[in-house]
A and B are shown apart, each in its own frame.
Chain A
């Protein structure tokens, strides 16, 4: 076999390998979705969404878990986004390039890979015990905010770094201050990538169970949380709890709750994609 033929063969083999790999992921996701929809769709109605938990599967609803998830989502966003974006901008635009900065950068990237239960232990110690917040929504959201801060910081840094230096120079040369340049040039250009990073980070936070269990979020909360200081549960904990029950009815409830959680994440992502689209439309590339 001559070389050209061999290369073409390798080329083709790799192509099919890549197609197979893509299909593998898609097929698995498809099977999962079909299975979940098949099990849980029929159980979803208005009373499922508006009912409190109960020991009877047929009367049980996800009201507390869903409101808990919405609370956690909002609080975590409010806490983590400003801090994460500001820290990313500081490190990229203001921080001096030094050995210290390098060590810091490596550590932040590493933090993004620390198992979430470790953050749970940290949150339990700092927020629940030292700051005496108890097993509250605020303590849980602070813990999740810590968990996703590294992801937001790294995404912001990369997005800011990708802004052409020539644009910043042009802004400075017209007499703009650093802040004006960041606010009027750097952020509009990089916001798309920053928002993408935030979506990924928040999606992860919404799906977390372990750190919230560690700080003491309960599976059975018979009331709807009204303030950030209330005890709470979230959808993943509710799902985990139902799946571990022996009754068939609870398994179906779990499947239904999974559908609601997926829908929630999809809707949030959709809103974020829309925001990104709107901000990018103002950038006239």
Chain B
């Protein structure tokens, strides 16, 4: 959360990503301001999920992953050798495509991020669990059954639990990889309202297949196609007056 307008929250400089010989991202650069929602759209296989996972280095686990270029968060190069990837992930939370709560209680799901940091004080955990669940607008629904298995919740509740779980470690950036694609319309709109709320305190990057969703929740939108960032700009501008023909074709549904 930087107030300094001159320095961007996130900066990507000339990123190229390869899986083996396959080049999946081609010379992508981008600046993202703090406390904004940025959506990445594009057809399947365009590299947008890979791009999202650059920010918390989740691609590192893929065997033949290789990248050129740099990613900066708050001015720090997150691929620097001095950066501990576990520390990085405490500042960059992630919500996945399918809700993936741990097979533990609701309470333990939220507390997990703190427990792995060695924080086990009960009253502190209680406080964080309540605060995180309130932020994710789930508290009122689950406050009496925190000892229940997280997997007994509905899909939409599970996804909000996953958001609360990510918030509990107090990140400043949240990555969302198609967070509503497995949910029904009502749950989806709840997630979207939540994103709008969270924007006040967090910088949010969201990958989505749903262009209406991108239009509703985001300030900026980037359109990816075959590994290239074709167009990046204000969401309203990009949807009403795209400067690139391929962007226009995609958002009007002519392909993708």
Chain A residues in contact with chain B, CB under 8 A? 96-97, 164, 166-167, 169-177, 180, 184-185, 188-189, 283-285
Known A-B contacts A172-B89, A173-B89, A284-B149; the reply to A166 vs B98 at CB < 8 A is: yes
The number of chain B residues with a CB under 8 A from chain A is 33
- Identify B102's interface contact among A97, A172, A185, CB under 8 A: A185
A-B pairs with lowest CB-CB distance, top 9: A284-B149, A166-B100, A173-B94, A175-B89, A175-B90, A174-B113, A175-B86, A176-B116, A170-B100
> Which residues of chain B have C-beta atoms less than 8 A from A177's C-beta?
86, 116
A-B pairs with beta carbons under 8 A, tally: 74
- Identify A189's interface contact among B98, B103, B149, B169, CB under 8 A: B103
> Which residues of chain B have C-beta atoms less than 8 A from A96's C-beta?
63
CA distance A167 to B96 in the complex (A): 10
> Which residues of chain A have C-beta atoms less than 8 A from B56's C-beta?
173
CA distance A170 to B159 in the complex (A): 12
CA distance A40 to B61 in the complex (A): 60
Least CB separation from B168: chain A residue: A174
- Contact between A284 and B89 (Cβ–Cβ < 8 Å)? no
Chain B residues in contact with chain A, CB under 8 A? 56, 58, 61, 63, 86-90, 93-94, 96, 98, 100-105, 112-113, 115-117, 148-152, 162, 165-166, 169
CA distance A166 to B182 in the complex (A): 14
Least CB separation from B113: chain A residue: A174
Known A-B contacts A169-B96, A170-B96; the reply to A175 vs B116 at CB < 8 A is: yes
State the majority secondary structure of interface residues on A. helix
- Contact between A184 and B112 (Cβ–Cβ < 8 Å)? yes
> Which residues of chain B have C-beta atoms less than 8 A from A175's C-beta?
86-90, 113, 116-117, 169
> Which residues of chain A have C-beta atoms less than 8 A from B98's C-beta?
166
- Contact between B103 and A173 (Cβ–Cβ < 8 Å)? no
- Contact between B96 and A166 (Cβ–Cβ < 8 Å)? yes
- Contact between A184 and B96 (Cβ–Cβ < 8 Å)? no
> Which residues of chain A have C-beta atoms less than 8 A from B90's C-beta?
174-175
- Identify B93's interface contact among A97, A166, A173, A189, CB under 8 A: A173
CB distance from A218 to the nearest CB of B (A): 50
> Which residues of chain B have C-beta atoms less than 8 A from A173's C-beta?
56, 58, 89, 93-94, 96, 166
Known A-B contacts A170-B96, A180-B116, A184-B116; the reply to A285 vs B151 at CB < 8 A is: yes
CB distance from B150 to the nearest CB of A (A): 7
> Which residues of chain B have C-beta atoms less than 8 A from A97's C-beta?
63
> Which residues of chain A have C-beta atoms less than 8 A from B116's C-beta?
171, 174-177, 180, 184
CB distance from A28 to the nearest CB of B (A): 40
CA distance A273 to B104 in the complex (A): 21
Least CB separation from B149: chain A residue: A284
> Which residues of chain B have C-beta atoms less than 8 A from A164's C-beta?
100
CA distance A284 to B149 in the complex (A): 5
- Contact between B112 and A171 (Cβ–Cβ < 8 Å)? yes
- Among A166, A172, A173, A185, chain B packs the most CB atoms within 10 A around the CB of A173
A-B contact pairs, 20 of them (CB 8 A): A97-B63, A166-B100, A167-B103, A169-B96, A170-B101, A171-B116, A172-B61, A173-B96, A173-B166, A174-B113, A174-B116, A174-B165, A175-B87, A175-B88, A175-B169, A184-B112, A284-B105, A284-B148, A284-B151, A285-B151
> Which residues of chain B have C-beta atoms less than 8 A from A170's C-beta?
96, 100-102, 162, 165
> Which residues of chain A have C-beta atoms less than 8 A from B150's C-beta?
284
CB distance from A285 to the nearest CB of B (A): 5
> Which residues of chain A have C-beta atoms less than 8 A from B89's C-beta?
172-175
Least CB separation from A181: chain B residue: B116
CA distance A36 to B194 in the complex (A): 69
- Identify A176's interface contact among B58, B86, B101, B166, CB under 8 A: B86
Known A-B contacts A174-B112, A174-B166; the reply to A285 vs B149 at CB < 8 A is: yes
CA distance A174 to B101 in the complex (A): 12
> Which residues of chain A have C-beta atoms less than 8 A from B94's C-beta?
173
CA distance A185 to B116 in the complex (A): 11
CA distance A127 to B152 in the complex (A): 53
17 additional contacts (CB under 8 A) given A173-B166, A185-B102, A283-B103: A166-B98, A169-B96, A170-B162, A171-B102, A171-B116, A174-B93, A174-B116, A174-B166, A175-B88, A175-B113, A175-B117, A176-B86, A176-B116, A188-B103, A284-B104, A284-B105, A284-B151
CA distance A281 to B188 in the complex (A): 33
- Identify B58's interface contact among A166, A167, A172, CB under 8 A: A172
CA distance A175 to B103 in the complex (A): 18
CA distance A164 to B96 in the complex (A): 14
Least CB separation from B94: chain A residue: A173
> Which residues of chain B have C-beta atoms less than 8 A from A180's C-beta?
116
